[in-house]
Each structure stands twice: as C-alpha cells, then as structure tokens.
Amino acid sequence: MEPAAGFLSPRPCPRAAALPAPPAGPGPPRAAKPGPELEMLGGPPAPDPGRLITDPRSGRTYFKGRLLGKGGFARCYEATDTETGSSYAVKVVSQSRIAKPHQREKILNEIELHRNLQHRHIVRFSHHFEDADNIYIFLELCSRKSLAHIWKARHTLLEPEVRYYLRQILSGLKYLHHRGILHRDLKLGNFFITENMELKMGDFGLATRLEPPEHRKKTICGTPNYVAPEVLQRQGHGTEADVWSLGCVMYTLLCGNPPFETVDLKETYRCIKQVHYTLPASLSLPARQLLASILRASPQDRPSIDQILRHDFFTKGYTPDRLPASSCVTAPDLIPLNPAKILFVKVTKSLFGRKKNKSKNHPEVRDEVSCLVNGLTRTSICHQDAKPEVPAASGLAQVSLVETAPEDSSPHGTLASSGDGFEEGLTVATVVESVLCALRNCLAFMPSAEQNPAPLAQPEPLVWVSKWVDYSNKFGFGYQLSSRRVAVLFNNGTHMALSANRKIVYYNPTSTKHFSFSVDAVPRALQPQLSVLRYFASYMEQRLMKVCGLRWGTLRATTFQSLPRPLRGGDLPSVEEVEVPVPPLLLQWVKTDQALLMLFSDGTVQVNFYGDHTKLILSGWEPLLVTFVARNRSACTYLASHLRQLGCSPDLRQRLRYALRLLRDRCPA
C-alpha cells in the first residue's frame, strides 16, 4: 500500500457507532488434524507469540508475516491462519490513529463498502475484527504486490501490457460505478497483482457513494499526481474523476512518469487545472488519441468506460491473454495475433498460437518450425542486455527462398487491418504489431499471379537505408540513409546520428528522449560515441559503393580496425531537450544468414537480402506502400491493397512471406 492522500479535509461528524461484527455464519473451514508424520516430529513449530493476531470473538489465531506496505492510517502484512494455513493480506489500523470520530468513520465506511463487493478484478474482502489495540481487515493476498512495484522495476511498459492491465481495471471500475461507488484513489499502488498475474483493484479508504450532481462530494481527496481538476477546484465530482485518474495511470505506465508530475506540488496542481502536459511522439497514434480524450478539463467531455473500451487503442491493438511472471521485472516477449481474431479466433489460434499439448508432428507446428531462421544477431534501442556477436565471414551464400503454401490462410472474407496511423517515435512493439497485421492481411487472400501489378506512377519520396555496417562485436550497427544522414545504434541501446550537412548531432539515450547539439557543442561525455559515429560515416563514404537514386550499392562492410571504446552509460551533463521533430531512428535490427531487417521509429521496415541485393521496404501505412528493389536494382512501389487484390510475382511474394516470418519469429512485439 502507498500512502492514501495525506490531505483529506477534516469535517465534523456524529460519533461513529461500534465497529460492525463479522458476518454471521461459520468461519473459514478448519484444517484436518496433523498426520502421523507431523505428530512424530512433535507437530508444527510454535509461532512467535509476539507475532500472533487473535480474534477475541472466535479465538482464531493468525501469524503475522512480512510487511507488504504501509499508508497514512494502516500497515499491511501477510497473515496466515494457524489452523487452516490460509494466507491473507491483513490491513492493521491502530486504534490510536483513529481516535477522532471522522477518522473512525472513514474506516467504517471502507469496511462497509468493500465487504459487499464481489468481482474478479477487485480484491476480495474476507472478514474483520478488532481488539483493544488495532482493527484488522483480512483481504485476498496478492503475492506479486502491485503495479507500482512493476513500474518501479520497469519504468515503462509495452502497449500490449498496458492494454492487458487497463482492460482489467476498466472491468472492475465499471462494476464499481454500476454499484454506485466512486473509488477516488486510482493509482499504481492500489492495483494489486496475484500469483497468476491477474490485476485486482483495492484500497477503498477514500471510496464513497455516488451522489446526485447537486449533492456530490466537494472534498479534496486522492493522490496529487492522479487527482482530477474538478476535485482540486471543489466543483463536486463523479465517475468522471475516476476516468481522469485512469488516464493518468495509463500515461504513467506508457511514458514512465505521471503526466502532471513536477518538483513542486503547487505547480503540479496548476498543470492539472490547466491540463498542461505533453504527449511523447514515441506513443502510438491510438494511445495519444485516447489519452487526449481522457485528460480533458471538463468532466462531460471525457469518454465513458464503454467508449474507452471501444476506442482503437483497444479494438485495433494486440492484448495478450496473460503475461508471464517475468514481466514484473523485464519486458516480456509478446507475439501478437491478428487484430481481427474476434472474427476468426479459431483460425488464428490454429495458425499462430502454439499450445503445450500440440503434437510436434502436427503440420502447423512443422511449418512454424521450418520458418525459423538461423544465425541471428539482434540489437534493439534501449535493449541493455543485447549480446552482439562477431560478424559473419564476408562470403555470403545466395539467398534461397522456396515457394511454400500461403503463410496465413484464412476463410474467404475481409480481414480488418489495424488502421493505426504511424508517426514519428513509435515503439518496436507498435511497429511489429502493425506490420504483422498488414502483411497477414495482404498475404491471406492474395491470388496467384506471375507478375506484379502496375506500380505507382509517382510514389512519395522514400527515405531508405542506402549503406550499412555491422560492427556489433565491438560498438554497434551503423547505417546511412538516402538523405545522407548517418547514424549508429550502439550496443548499449543509445542512438546517435549526424545530419546530412554534418553540422548537427542527434542523440537518443532512449527511444523517447531526444537531444540535439551543434557538432562543436557536443558534451564531453558524448565525445567517444561521436568519434565512433564519425568513423562510421567516413568508412561508409570512402569504402562503400556510392548510391544514386534508387540504384542501391553494396551494403556489406569489411573488417574494421580498432576504434576508440564508445561511451557505455554514466551521467551526462544537463542539456536542453529538443522540441523540433525528431528524425526517424533505428529501433531494432535483426540479421539472419539470408537477410537484414531494420525497424524505424516512423514505422518503416526495410529488409535487405544479401545474395542478390533485392530489398523490400514497407512504409506509409495510410495506405501501406510496398517498395521492391529487384536484382537489376530497379525499384517499384505498390499499394498493398493492389497486391492483395491482384497478386504479385513469385519473387515479391516469397520475400513478403519471409519478412512476415522474420517479424513473427524474431521480433516479438
């Protein structure tokens, strides 16, 4: 538990009645007597009497275990029934802390509201009692603590993870509002996680009954970073205040900090009242749209819970059925399914979902295994534990792509694509998620054809990787764009780029932090990385084939000489963050024995095939454009919708399928 509010307004109230008794009826089932083996050892060891909690009415005793959390009025411990072995989270409220009538009334109100709630995503209320020293409230134990602990370990979560948690929060919140209850303190520390990674909403210390508008509460309560503007302005608040807090929770999980957080509480309140916050460009367009719709000054302008659940962020984005326990401390590997799985759930499960009891000889499994590619080297921006390998030998085998059955065969009909508009600063998960959807939709119903349809006569100008150097065994991956901007994705997850005129340096310590400097003003701490960047630029300029238009040169580099060791972390001097649009940067690269795949922050995906130097570039997204550079280096751009309707040549079809398999198997979102 985190501290609840700390700024509840005291108010006069009548003297509270005695604490209500526990529900009538038999208590929890008692355990059987110890078996012979336990009796031979003298029975279980006697608990420390100082850590025993005894119900004065029933005589039942509980062993008080580890501290789980503490707040302004209470401490929460793990507790075990000494007879049954049942485990609980017990909230212990000292009688001395609730000596004033309004303080005791607060505890009575919490018990009265919580004891009657029964919902999958609300912490279960078990029972309560009191003695001369404390009040004890026994609740469902959530062994993996809370979202606050996950956030502290992870700082930011992937969008599919956020959808997973928000769906459960919204389910519990809808139940509360239907029961006429406002939570009024939605925050990360009040969302508890069970052993099987299920979310439970808890801590009803500030909850209250929903009143008609003319009688609504005007008390300022909640947690500063999550409180709604109408609460601060004492305008009376309803369910819309909980929706606002939910938006702050969503923002915090996606961006790493609350939207209105400042070093000064008064400044935080000012920002909340003026709804002054920023939406990072790294968020997907649906995420930014949903946050903007929730964080609105007027409560009437905010969406309802049902409207939130119908938003594109939920309906067109992948949500995992469950998360691994490892996601409490590290980003999980999530393999998204087609967003149209609601229509074709059985088909998509058989094609993309692998079950534990599925036979290894099943043809679908054999096909999936045959899709795996070997010789993988992978580096992601902000992927701190990436282990780069020594580059492969310069001799490369010709790419061998065998025509197979369609990767994703589905019932005849129309599959809805994700429709997510891509802009600068997307995450790896969002890019992969949407590319997979688009490619599956394109290939699922593509008819057979011997040649490509007519290309676009005047395609939009395309920025693509014209040269690249893999030196990940020591420093990182360097590349040059067709715009002549040169960049390096370093092994430590940072990214640095040099503008085409070589006068501006762009530095990205993470995919959401963007800085720029003139070349002469780069901080000393970044000079080693700048030296490596300049060497990469010089090498590609002098040693790799020059590029003209879309006639692309050889992209393979030979062995480097020893270079200065790049910067690998450490404190940086304070610099001014850039407000101008950030050039697209490489988020992740994946290299197999046949091809190189690159994912960019503007949503572009480029696949270079070594043996014949053909290339595949997916870009645009509204609509999706497919650019294919053939063996003779001629480039043609097609609308993905045309390819889906008219088909394409075997060469292009093979490469589209290869890109799909590579994204699915090696770039989990």
Query: Which residue in 233, 216, 220 sits closest to 274, CA to CA?
Result: 233
Lowest mean pLDDT among 236-250, 577-591, 632-646: 577-591
In a domain, 6, yes or no: no
In a domain, 602, yes or no: yes
Q: Is 33 annotated as a binding residue?
A: no
State the pLDDT at residue 18: 36
- pLDDT tens readout for residues 256-275: 999 999 888 889 999 999 99
Q: What is the DSSP letter of 380?
A: E
Q: Would the pLDDT of 478 be above 80? A: yes
Here the CATH number for the domain that contains residue 288 is 1.10.510.10
Q: What is the DSSP letter of 548?
A: B
In a domain, 324, yes or no: no
The answer to whether 574 touches 562, Cβ cutoff 8 Å, is no
| Same-domain pairing of 70 and 188 | no
Q: Would the pLDDT of 36 be above 80? A: no
In a domain, 119, yes or no: yes
Of the candidates 81, 185, 242, 470, the residue annotated as catalytic is 185
| Same-domain pairing of 168 and 286 | yes
Q: Quote the number of domains for the chain.
A: 3
Query: Which residue in 251, 308, 327, 272 sits closest to 512, CA to CA?
Result: 251
Q: What is the DSSP letter of 619?
A: E
CA atoms of 382 and 274, how far apart (whole Å): 33
Give mean pLDDT, residues 290-301.
Answer: 95
| Same-domain pairing of 297 and 376 | no
Phi and psi (nearest 5°) for 469? -135, 125
| Same-domain pairing of 346 and 311 | no
- pLDDT tens readout for residues 327-336: 998 888 775 5
Position 49 confidence tier, pLDDT thresholds 50, 70, 90 = low
* Residue-range definition of the domain harbouring residue 183: 147-315
CA atoms of 190 and 518, how far apart (whole Å): 46
| Same-domain pairing of 55 and 126 | yes
3-state helix, strand, coil in the chain (%, to 5): 30, 20, 50
- pLDDT tens readout for residues 569-607: 333 333 333 334 456 788 889 888 889 999 888 888 999
Give mean pLDDT, residues 632-652.
Answer: 87
State the pLDDT at residue 642: 87
Lowest mean pLDDT among 415-424, 513-522, 618-627: 415-424
| DSSP notation for 241-291 | HHHHHHHHHHHHHHHSS-TT--SSHHHHHHHHHHT-----TTS-HHHHHHH
Burial of 653 (0-12, 13-18, 19+ CB in 10 A): buried
State the pLDDT at residue 119: 95
| Same-domain pairing of 285 and 410 | no
For residue 474, list its beta bridge partners.
none
CA atoms of 65 and 68, how far apart (whole Å): 9
Here the CATH number for the domain that contains residue 115 is 3.30.200.20
Q: Would the pLDDT of 414 be above 50? A: no
In a domain, 664, yes or no: yes
State the pLDDT at residue 50: 64
Higher pLDDT, 554 or 96: 96
Give mean pLDDT, residues 357-379.
Answer: 37
In a domain, 392, yes or no: yes
Burial of 283 (0-12, 13-18, 19+ CB in 10 A): buried
| Same-domain pairing of 263 and 346 | no
- Which residue type does 585 have? L
| Same-domain pairing of 590 and 666 | yes
| Same-domain pairing of 349 and 300 | no
Here the CATH number for the domain that contains residue 420 is 3.30.1120.30
| Same-domain pairing of 344 and 308 | no
| Same-domain pairing of 345 and 410 | yes
Query: Which residue in 495, 629, 517, 636 sits closest to 573, CA to CA?
Result: 517
In a domain, 492, yes or no: no
Q: What is the pTM of this model?
A: 0.48
CA atoms of 565 and 349, how far apart (whole Å): 47
Average pLDDT of the chain is 75
State the pLDDT at residue 304: 96
| Same-domain pairing of 289 and 359 | no
Give mean pLDDT, residues 604-623.
Answer: 86
In a domain, 477, yes or no: no
SS3 of residue 389 by DSSP: coil
Token couple for 347: 């088909």
Give mean pLDDT, residues 35-45.
Answer: 36
Last-in-domain residue among 139, 159, 187? 139
State the pLDDT at residue 141: 94
CA atoms of 435 and 379, how far apart (whole Å): 19
Last-in-domain residue among 315, 346, 368? 315
Helix (H) or strand (E) holding 483: none
Last-in-domain residue among 248, 280, 315? 315
185 catalytic per annotation: yes
